[in-house]
């Protein structure tokens, strides 16, 4: 009973934070002055300009997904399945852009390529967002590769070389993971507005923000989010029906295999090291080095620190609080999904993913519309609204990490406690949490980094004088000097990478569960 009530509480909490505001927002657009009407939508569908922007958004998302897959899959294979030296260094370097708001990568590149014409518009957006989202493909490829039953690869090795085995057996076996990463990259690109804004490429996600921030027209802003929401919904429906089922099938996956086949690169090893060194140097090191060079001046850094001021402390504290709440909610929802403990568990799983994929403008506008009333001003007018935004957007990260942690604990561990008469709460805190503590710490860190780098939802909901550092940089970008922006970006990078590096150094290679 305690188990069901607790899980139900967290489901209801998540629905109130995430789903109810969005549903209420859309009801308002079809019930105007107490009457049902589609007037606002008709205006949207009649506008050719809007559809042109949707086309731009879809084209950008398509190119970014294609580029991230083309580079991310081979990278994931090389970094997890081969005997390449310096794998952890390469993994760290390629992960950096994911840890930062994508526009900071764009700023870093702008210091490197200066005012090159090609960098602005679609090519620059594709380049920056591909670099930013490539780690998603890389990590999902690596994670799924670890779960492939080595037996099916050995069976292939009796018949073919590694290239044939990878092409015909391993990659098809991890296809659900690859498709999931493609879905995520596509949807995150679709909702991204900061990079297209910086690089002057018109996309639809900017439209909602313009309607909202420039005209403060809630209904128009809500209606303008509809095309992106529909695309996100259709793609996630595809994920839920097709990919989810595939992932559930055995598909050669084994959760606790103690064997992992490693590809010996032999003579090609040095060439791959050279290739990856060049790629990471050109794509990551040089642009960020250019940014650091621009910022490395004591006067500039002092000014940047002054400008960043309390927004840096706010960023860190909001991210810390958000990550802690996310870890708790994600743990219980992850438990619910993994153990299928309540009917509708799949719906909860889908919904958490849906909110990550939902353009942040949609979530932000929904939250403001719902909480902006006198009775709830204690939420709307305080940082609580930012935390709610984080919870709505990022619960999927912590719930999926919990699922991953739970899958590494034999179900008999909890059953043994259960049969010994230990109540659920004690089983959770006495058995599961201690076994998963490293995984939960990793879950907190990931949530912290995503809250810290958030621009989209914070931009929409932050109350006056509660802006975070990424928002402050974003708003100063138009008027401040290049060096000052570089200084602010450097502070942002350090506040993200320091805890991440400390965590990576403190956690042994094994035992991340």
Distance CA 209, CA 236 (A): 23
Task: CB nearer to other proteins: give 169 or 195.
Answer: 169
Minimum gap (Å) between residue 273 Cβ and other proteins: 23
CB of 183 to other proteins, least distance (A): 19
The least CB distance from residue 253 to other proteins, in Å, is 9
**CB nearer other proteins, residue 49 or residue 266:** 266
Pick 254 or 277: Cβ nearer other proteins: 254
* Sign of the four-CA dihedral 501, 442, 149, 165: negative
Rounded to whole angstroms, how far apart are CA atoms 488 and 53? Answer: 31
Largest distance between two CA atoms of the chain: 73
Residues engaged in binding other proteins (CB under 8 A): 149, 151-152, 154-161, 164, 168-169, 172-173, 175, 249-252, 261
Length of the chain in terms of residues written: 513
For other proteins, the closer of residues 46 and 258 by Cβ is 258
By beta-carbon proximity to other proteins, the closer residue of 85 and 161 is 161
- Residue 252 contacts by C-beta under 8 Å, 6 or more apart in sequence? 148, 149, 152, 169, 173
Indicate the residue among 150 and 482 with the shorter CB distance to other proteins.
Answer: 150
Q: C-beta of 64: minimal distance to other proteins in Å?
A: 27
Q: How far is the CB of 83 from other proteins (least distance, A)?
A: 14
| Spatial distance between the Cα atoms of 400 and 395, rounded to a whole number of angstroms | 8
Nearer to other proteins, 126 or 182 (CB): 182
H/E run at residue 32: strand 31-32
**Angle subtended by helix axes 298-339 and 286-295, to nearest 10:** 140
Radius of gyration of the chain (CA): 23
Question: Closest distance between other proteins and the C-beta of residue 149, in Å?
Answer: 7
Dihedral sign (CA 506, 495, 390, 197): negative
Buried b (16+ CB within 10 A) or exposed e, 335-371: bbbbeebeeebeebbbbbbbbbbbbbbbbbbbbbbbb
Helices (H), 82-203: 87-99, 102-113, 122-146, 150-157, 162-165, 171-173, 175-191, 194-198
- The DSSP-derived string for 340-394 is T-STTHHHHHHHHHHHHHS-HHHHHHHHHHHH-SGGGHHHHTSTHHHHHHHHHHH
Min CB(152)–other proteins separation in Å:
5
**Shortest Å, Cβ 435 to other proteins:** 25
Nearest distance from C-beta of residue 261 to other proteins, angstroms: 8
Q: How far is the CB of 163 from other proteins (least distance, A)?
A: 11
36 or 163: CB nearest other proteins: 163
Q: Which is nearer to other proteins, 158 or 214 (CB)?
A: 158
Nearer to other proteins, 159 or 502 (CB): 159
């Amino acid at each position: 009973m305690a188990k069901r009530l607790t899980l139900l509480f967290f489901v209801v909490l998540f629905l109130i934070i995430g789903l109810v505001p969005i549903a209420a927002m859309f009801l308002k657009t079809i019930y105007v002055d107490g009457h049902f009407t589609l007037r606002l939508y008709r205006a949207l569908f009649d506008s050719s300009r809007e559809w042109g922007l949707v086309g731009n958004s879809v084209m950008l998302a398509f190119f970014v997904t294609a580029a991230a897959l083309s580079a991310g899959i081979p990278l994931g294979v090389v970094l997890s399945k081969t005997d390449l030296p310096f794998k952890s260094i390469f993994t760290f370097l390629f992960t950096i852009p994911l840890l930062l708001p994508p526009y900071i990568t764009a700023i870093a590149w702008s210091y490197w390529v200066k005012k090159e014409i090609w960098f602005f518009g679609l090519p620059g957006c594709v380049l920056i967002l591909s670099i930013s989202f490539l780690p998603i493909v890389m990590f999902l490829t690596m994670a799924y590769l670890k779960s492939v039953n080595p037996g099916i690869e050995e069976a292939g090795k009796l018949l073919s070389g590694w290239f044939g085995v990878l092409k015909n057996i391993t990659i098809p076996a991890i296809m659900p993971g690859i498709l999931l990463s493609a879905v995520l990259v596509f949807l995150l690109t679709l909702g991204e507005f900061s990079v297209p804004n910086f690089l002057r490429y018109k996309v639809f996600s900017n439209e909602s923000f313009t309607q909202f921030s420039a005209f403060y027209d809630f209904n128009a802003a809500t209606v303008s989010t509809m095309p992106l929401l529909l695309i996100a919904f259709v793609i996630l429906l595809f994920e839920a029906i097709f990919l989810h089922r595939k992932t559930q099938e055995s598909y050669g996956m084994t959760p606790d295999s103690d064997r992992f086949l490693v590809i010996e690169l032999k003579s090609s090893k040095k060439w791959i090291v050279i290739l990856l060194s060049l790629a990471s140097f050109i794509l990551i090191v040089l642009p960020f080095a250019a940014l650091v060079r621009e910022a490395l001046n004591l006067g500039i850094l002092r000014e940047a620190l002054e400008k960043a001021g309390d927004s840096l402390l706010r960023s860190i504290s909001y991210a810390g609080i958000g990550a802690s709440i996310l870890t708790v909610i994600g743990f219980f929802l992850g438990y619910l999904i993994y153990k299928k403990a309540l009917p509708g568990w799949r719906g909860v799983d889908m919904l958490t993913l849906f909110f990550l994929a939902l353009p942040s403008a949609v979530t932000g506008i929904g939250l403001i519309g719902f909480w902006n009333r006198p009775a709830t001003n204690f939420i709307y007018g305080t940082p609580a609204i930012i935390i709610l935004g984080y919870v709505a957007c990022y619960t999927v990260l912590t719930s999926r990490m919990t699922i991953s942690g739970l899958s590494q604990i034999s179900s008999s561990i909890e059953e043994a406690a259960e049969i010994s008469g230990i109540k659920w709460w004690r089983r959770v805190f006495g058995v599961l949490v201690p076994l998963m503590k490293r995984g939960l710490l990793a879950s907190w860190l990931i949530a912290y980094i995503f809250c810290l780098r958030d621009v989209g939802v914070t931009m929409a909901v932050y109350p006056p004088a509660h802006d975070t550092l990424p928002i402050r940089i974003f708003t100063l970008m138009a008027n401040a000097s290049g060096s000052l922006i570089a200084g602010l970006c450097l502070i942002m990078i350090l506040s993200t990478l320091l805890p991440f590096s400390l965590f990576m150094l403190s956690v042994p290679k094994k035992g991340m569960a």
